[in-house]
Amino acid sequence: MPGFVFELLVPLENGGPCVLDVSGPQSVGRAVTVLRQQSSVDNTQAIALVENLEREIALINGDMVPK
């Protein structure tokens, strides 16, 4: 959907802003970086979360374990 963005506020430790526009490659990369640096997810989890948000349908199995 054009113009739709995700606000990724919940997973961030400092509650800072992180907006994911799935139609913008720079936004996708920035979201992965912010999730890695400001949340308890590791690199693989950050990539998986963002990649799944880019899809129309996704299945995430298991708990996100803090680093």
Q: Tens digit of pLDDT for each residue in 47-67?
A: 988 888 888 887 777 776 655
In percent, the amount of the chain with pLDDT more than 90 equals: 4
pLDDT for residue 64: 61
Give dist(CA 5, CA 49) in Å, integer.
14
Is residue 12 within 8 Å of residue 37, measured between CB atoms? no
Evaluate if pTM is beyond 0.75.
no
What digits encode the pLDDT tens for the residues 21-52?
A: 888 888 889 999 988 888 888 888 889 888 88
Under 8 Å between Cβ of 9 and 18: yes
Angle between helices 25-38 and 43-53 (to 10 degrees): 140
Residue 20 DSSP SS3: strand
